[in-house]
């Protein structure tokens, strides 16, 4: 008993809360202002520095380039809110990519017998594979108390191995047009990856902010003991968030395959780092219970804008790495000093 709540160091960091759940929700967005300002400042600087940055086409590029990491980061937000972490997303991206692609390729070597199938079949397969991978990690964490870091690191390694085995180490090429549409199609001029990202974002906003499940995710992360005593099945919540993260990884894997036109077994390496970074930059605490997908969106955009801007300006690769490191820290620093207590 006596689970240690641990108000993280920032507890009560000068946030005046008076008038309510509503206000408190607004306040919680206000805490993102720091990082939002960082994003805006960065965008202003970039649009002054480079004539192409603000043109519609580049904005579409940035959004499209953010969408995969953004989708992963949203799934990751759920996991991190429960004090967990999912290192396996990059590998699951590849696993879902190749398994679904096998049902959607016109190449006779790689196809599953009878294929290619109409797009819904590979789509379901990809989601299913992602969810299954998430369920395995989730079970290990929720039911067998394996630390999330270890469980998902195991999955990172195992899923990558399975992917390579399944695909024989080679890409699965020649995907059907239906499948490719997920990555290259558009709706009223908005590219599909962006559309999917938007839908996922809105859905997660709704789920986390307005549903019972969302409250339980926050509670299970904020104080698992209190949640349990309040009759919440914390293990089930924990399991669910890994399934959600797996689903998102599955989705991202298919978008990736569809965008690149073939499913690569070595896709997605180290994607977990960017996804976690987006979440943490967005203000979600790795200690659980505190954070919001809106922050994650901004975090993901920030990373996307930095990558895009540095490429646009043709900054040399090595300098890029230095600058990127500095910028990410600077953005959070700006946020941090604003929110610091006293």
Ligand X SMILES: Nc1ncnc2c1ncn2[C@@H]1O[C@H](COP(=O)(O)OP(=O)(O)OP(=O)(O)O)[C@@H](O)[C@H]1O
Binding site residues, ligand X, CB under 6 A:
11-12
Q: Which does 118 bind (CB under 5 to 8 A by kind): ligand X, a second copy, another protein, none?
A: none
Is 20 among the residues that bind a second copy (CB under 8 A)?
no
Binding to a second copy in span 82-121, by CB under 8 A: 83, 87
Closer to a second copy by Cβ: residue 60 or 286: 286
Give the CA distances from residue 19 to residues 13, 16, 25, 213, in Å, rounded to whole numbers and listed in that order. Answer: 17, 9, 10, 24
Is 230 among the residues that bind a second copy (CB under 8 A)?
no
Closer to ligand X by Cβ: residue 12 or 114: 12
**Locate tokens 């919001």: which residue?**
292
**Are 70 and 201 within 8 A, CB to CB?**
yes
Q: Which does 226 bind (CB under 5 to 8 A by kind): ligand X, a second copy, another protein, none?
A: another protein
Is 229 among the residues that bind a second copy (CB under 8 A)?
no
Binding to a second copy in span 287-316, by CB under 8 A: 287
Figure out which of the listed residues 12, 14, 145, 188 binds a second copy, where binding follows CB under 8 A. 145
Return d(Cα 235, Cα 232) in angstroms, integer: 9
H helix or E strand, kind and range, residue 190: strand 190-191
**87: DSSP letter:** T
Return d(Cα 211, Cα 310) in angstroms, integer: 40
Structure-token pair, residue 204: 């997660």
Q: Smallest gap, in angstroms, from Cβ of residue 180 to another protein?
A: 9
Q: Which does 325 bind (CB under 5 to 8 A by kind): ligand X, another protein, a second copy, none?
A: a second copy
**Are 78 and 244 within 8 A, CB to CB?**
yes
**Locate tokens 């290990």: which residue?**
140
Structure-token pair, residue 83: 């004090």
**Are 284 and 81 within 8 A, CB to CB?**
yes
Figure out which of the listed residues 62, 192, 276, 305 binds a second copy, where binding follows CB under 8 A. 276
Q: Smallest gap, in angstroms, from Cβ of residue 317 to another protein?
A: 3
Binding to a second copy in span 28-47, by CB under 8 A: none
Figure out which of the listed residues 154, 185, 209, 261 binds a second copy, where binding follows CB under 8 A. 154
Total residues at the site for a second copy (CB under 8 A)?
A: 58
CA atoms within 13 A on the CB side of 275: 32
Q: Which does 150 bind (CB under 5 to 8 A by kind): a second copy, ligand X, another protein, none?
A: a second copy
Structure-token pair, residue 146: 């394996």
**265: DSSP letter:** T
**Locate tokens 């590979």: which residue?**
122
68 CB-near residues (< 8 Å, 6+ apart):
93, 193, 252, 255, 256, 271
What residues make contact with a second copy under the rule CB under 8 A?
Answer: 3-4, 6, 8-10, 83, 87, 140, 144-147, 149-151, 153-162, 164-165, 169, 223-225, 270, 273, 276-277, 280-281, 285-287, 317-326, 328-329, 332-333, 336-337, 340
């Amino acid at each position: 008993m006596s689970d240690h709540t641990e108000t993280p160091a920032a507890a009560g960091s000068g946030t005046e809360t008076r008038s309510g759940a509503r206000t408190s929700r607004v306040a919680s967005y206000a805490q993102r202002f720091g990082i939002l300002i960082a994003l805006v400042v960065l965008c202003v600087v970039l649009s002054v520095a480079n004539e192409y940055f603000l043109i519609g086409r580049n904005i579409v590029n940035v959004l499209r380039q953010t969408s995969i990491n953004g989708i992963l980061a949203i799934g990751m937000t759920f996991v991190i809110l429960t004090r967990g972490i999912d290192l396996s997303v990059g590998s699951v991206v590849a696993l879902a990519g190749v398994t679904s692609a096998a049902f959607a390729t016109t190449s006779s070597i790689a196809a599953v017998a009878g294929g290619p199938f109409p797009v819904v079949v590979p789509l379901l397969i990809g989601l299913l594979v992602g969810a299954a991978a998430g369920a395995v990690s989730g079970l290990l964490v929720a039911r067998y108390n394996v630390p999330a870091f270890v469980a998902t690191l195991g999955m990172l390694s195992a899923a990558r191995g399975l992917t390579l085995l399944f695909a024989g180490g080679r890409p699965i090429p020649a995907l059907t047009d239906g499948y490719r549409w997920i990555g290259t199609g558009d709706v009223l001029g908005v590219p599909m990856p962006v559309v999917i990202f938007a839908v996922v974002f809105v859905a997660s906003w709704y789920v986390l902010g307005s549903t019972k499940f969302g409250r339980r995710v926050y509670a299970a992360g904020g104080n698992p003991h209190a949640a349990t005593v309040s009759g919440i099945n914390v293990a089930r919540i924990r399991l669910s968030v890994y399934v959600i993260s797996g689903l998102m990884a599955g989705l991202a894997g298919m978008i990736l395959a569809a965008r690149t036109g073939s499913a690569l077994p070595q896709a997605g390496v180290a994607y977990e780092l960017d996804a976690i970074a987006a979440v943490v930059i967005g203000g979600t605490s790795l200690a659980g219970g505190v954070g919001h997908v809106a922050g994650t969106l901004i975090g993901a955009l920030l990373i996307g804008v930095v990558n895009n801007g540095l490429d646009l300006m043709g900054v040399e690769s090595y300098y890029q790495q230095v600058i990127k490191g500095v910028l990410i820290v600077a953005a959070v620093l700006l946020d941090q000093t604003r929110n610091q207590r006293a």
